[in-house]
């Protein structure tokens, strides 16, 4: 194994593989290595559908060897630290590797312990999560017959911020199809103030919530799970004038203690765990105060070390952490690295925060949120021409795009470095 590379990439996920593939498409003889310990590469966007029984989990996985770009050295090891002053990365079993340019894209990690009781709830099967085991989520939904089906998410940033509500819509649709609508209460509780930040999408989702009779609870931040009694305790984070009053004997069995503690009993619980940058990133000098990779929001160049770039879920970018965001970030990073290699300035600052969230709203229905840093709705013109309608409305064609089109584009275009 070599000890030095022109470009060293930490992480063999979407961002790392795409970056390597696009760099090699521009210049075949580049000396590139990817540090990645996993033997399997997952297409995680399909896990929402797996959790609803609408997609085969096996189809979301491929051997890492099959997606590693030809011409890249794969270092099958776990990165453990950075020494940017020496232009080196340390690994668990390999010797330190030095670089001319570094791309940090290891994704994020689940941190269930940030909510008291969540590790035990997951271990005992009291809670399910598409983020951890989507096949178990489908088992829980399939076997659910009555009571409170509670869906919620943490206060930390999470990958695909819309995922916790997508599975709530699919579950509500499943319950309706099974004749269980009157015996079930579907609850979606979020620390956020609104169902979605983009107005056009929010208007559509409000109608979806009304259609299913979902109990929408904004300003609910989960803090503790009473595993034994199946109760989730929330902090109510709304400004005092917006706080709800919990009445006795309400249909959900909610109780309020003091001004901010709300307890909700559940018969089914789906939760997106708290998430964070991997520990070796958090413990490094490369992060901001919140523990995310400190990069420029428009060029993805590190704010202190100009030969380091970061993107994807680990980056401190104020937009949704999605594969669609990565698709727009990678060409900017590739262009900037090429400019540095030719002794020019990394002056491509064209990334505008684009991200998209395919919001599945039922079996055979979807709306597609596409937005920038300012939460402007910015639908892709090519997609609009193909669909002949605005993607902020529910449509079966968008469902087909989610189930068939996007996985095909991912495996056959994005990971191979082709522009899509």
The catalytic residues are: 160, 357
- What letter does residue 302 receive in the DSSP assignment? B
SS3 25: helix
Q: How far apart are CA 376 and CA 359, in angstroms?
A: 17
Q: How far apart are CA 59 and CA 292, in angstroms?
A: 31
Beta bridge partners of 310: 104
Phi, psi of 133 (to 5 degrees): -150, 80
Q: Within 13 A of 170's CA, how many CA atoms are on the CB side?
A: 28
Q: What is the dihedral of CA 379, 383, 389, 391, to 10 degrees?
A: -50
Other CB atoms within 10 A of residue 259 CB? 9
Q: What element of type H or E holds 64?
A: helix 64-67
Q: At what angle do helices 14-26 and 323-341 cross, to 10 degrees?
A: 40
Q: Please state the separation of Cα 119 from the chain's center in Å.
A: 20
The sign of the torsion formed by the CA atoms of 379, 311, 3, 94 equals negative
Q: Is 162 exposed, middle or buried (0-12, 13-18, 19+ CB in 10 A)?
A: buried
- What letter does residue 229 receive in the DSSP assignment? T
- What letter does residue 351 receive in the DSSP assignment? -
Q: Is 277 exposed, middle or buried (0-12, 13-18, 19+ CB in 10 A)?
A: buried
- What letter does residue 59 receive in the DSSP assignment? G
Nearest to 83 by CA among 157, 24, 10, 189: 10
């Amino acid at each position: 194994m070599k000890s030095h590379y022109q470009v060293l990439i930490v992480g063999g996920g979407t961002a790392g593989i795409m970056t390597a593939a696009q760099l090699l498409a521009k210049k075949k003889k580049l000396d590139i290595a990817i540090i990645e310990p996993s033997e399997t590469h997952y297409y995680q966007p399909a896990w929402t559908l797996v959790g609803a029984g609408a997609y085969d989990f096996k189809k979301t996985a491929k051997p890492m060897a099959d997606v590693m770009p030809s011409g890249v050295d794969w270092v099958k090891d776990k990165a453990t630290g950075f020494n940017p002053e020496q232009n080196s990365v340390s690994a668990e079993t390999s010797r330190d590797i030095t670089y001319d340019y570094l791309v940090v894209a290891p994704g994020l990690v689940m941190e269930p312990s940030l909510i008291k009781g969540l590790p035990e709830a997951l271990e005992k099967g009291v809670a399910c999560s598409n983020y951890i085991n989507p096949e178990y989520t489908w088992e829980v939904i399939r076997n659910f017959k009555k009571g409170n089906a509670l869906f919620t998410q943490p206060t930390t940033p999470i990958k695909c911020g819309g995922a916790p509500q997508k599975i709530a819509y699919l579950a509500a649709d499943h319950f309706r199809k099974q004749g269980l609508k009157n015996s079930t209460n579907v609850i979606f509780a979020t620390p956020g103030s609104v169902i979605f930040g983009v107005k056009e999408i929010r208007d559509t989702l409000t109608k979806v919530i009304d259609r299913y009779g979902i109990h929408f609870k904004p300003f609910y931040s989960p803090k503790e799970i009473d595993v034994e009694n199946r109760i989730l305790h929330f902090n109510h984070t709304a400004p005092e004038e917006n706080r709800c009053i919990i009445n006795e004997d309400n249909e959900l069995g909610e109780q309020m203690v003091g001004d901010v503690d709300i307890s909700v009993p559940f018969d089914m619980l789906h939760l997106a765990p708290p998430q964070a940058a991997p520990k070796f990133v958090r413990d490094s000098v490369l992060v901001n105060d919140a523990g995310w990779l400190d990069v420029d929001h428009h060029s993805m160049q590190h704010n202190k070390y100009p030969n380091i770039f970061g993107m994807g879920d680990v980056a401190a970018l104020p937009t949704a952490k999605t594969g669609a965001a990565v698709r727009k970030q990678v060409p900017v990073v590739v262009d900037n690295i090429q400019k540095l290699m030719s002794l020019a300035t990394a002056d491509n600052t064209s990334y505008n925060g684009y991200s998209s969230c395919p919001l599945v709203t039922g079996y055979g229905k979807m709306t597609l949120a596409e937005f920038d840093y300012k939460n402007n709705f910015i639908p892709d013109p090519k997609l609009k021409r193909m669909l002949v309608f605005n993607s902020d409305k529910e449509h079966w064609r968008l469902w087909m795009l989610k189930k068939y089109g996007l996985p095909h584009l991912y495996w056959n275009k994005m990971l191979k470095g082709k522009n899509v």
